[in-house]
Amino acid sequence: MAVLSGKSVLETALAHRSIRKFTGAPIAPEQLDAVLEAGRAASSSSFLQTVHIIRVSDEGLRKGLREVGADQHYIETCAEFLVFCMDFAKHKQIAPDAQTDWTEVTLIGAIDAGIMAQNIMLAAESLDLGAVYIGSLRNDVRRVAELLDLPEYVMPLFGMCLGHPDQDPLYRPRLPLECMVSENQYQALNIERFIEYNAVIKDYYQRRSNLDLDWEAQIRATLCREVRPDILPFLQKQGFAKK
């Protein structure tokens, strides 16, 4: 495989923006190969290599996944749509007595998928491509499994849109490092710093979308209610998280 020249890792990581609007241009095959190879090179817990990526090119499937994914139009309009699955079906083929139903196995698969996906996104952005994660596929995980014909021991986790950016969105400010990193022991959130950060996020949403929204409101909207209660039953149906 030819090695493509891209931006540095640090420059790419610090410039990250989620892209939700793409040009109609396809991704060159050598670029797609390169970003997938970057994913394949990712670290893997106990070298189990527990991830399966489904590249969705069929227009009907894209439409169905858009309907699951909160009607996010970019699922259909991006150049490439990838679905990242936790995959232990191959392990069960090799070792039928493999005990996939431990919760730790579920964590291994989810962690591996996140590591691989971030490698892919970082590589794509270094080549001036844009990307965005699609966690809303878990809104109806059973439907996703039906659309993609997933067998037992495979769990769809999230999607990723890839393509050539047709927007340059504002950077969404992250928590200050001191609220995310501590030394030797856990440090509780500094409320004064949180209040400052909350005001920064409120200003960001006002400037980006004219929304009256801050980080506290986002937390409450996401976590102060049921959070996809069908996930655990489906995990267990697929052979995971039973003990």
Decide if 162 contacts 131 (C-beta within 8 A): yes
Buried b (16+ CB within 10 A) or exposed e, 21-30: bbeeeebeee
**Closest listed residue to residue 123, CA positions, set 19, 52, 56, 39:** 39
How far is the first Cα of the chain from the last one, in angstroms, to the nearest whole number? 43
For the chain, residues with pLDDT lower than 50 are none
Q: How far apart are CA 137 and CA 231, in angstroms?
A: 11
Domain ranges of the chain: 9-169+226-237, 172-212
**Closest listed residue to residue 142, CA positions, set 204, 68, 35:** 68
The pLDDT, as a whole number, for residue 69 is: 84
| Domain spanning 9-169+226-237, CATH architecture | 3-Layer(aba) Sandwich (3.40)
The pLDDT, as a whole number, for residue 3 is: 66
Pure H helices in the chain: 9-14, 29-40, 59-68, 74-77, 89-94, 103-126, 141-147, 191-209, 215-223, 231-237
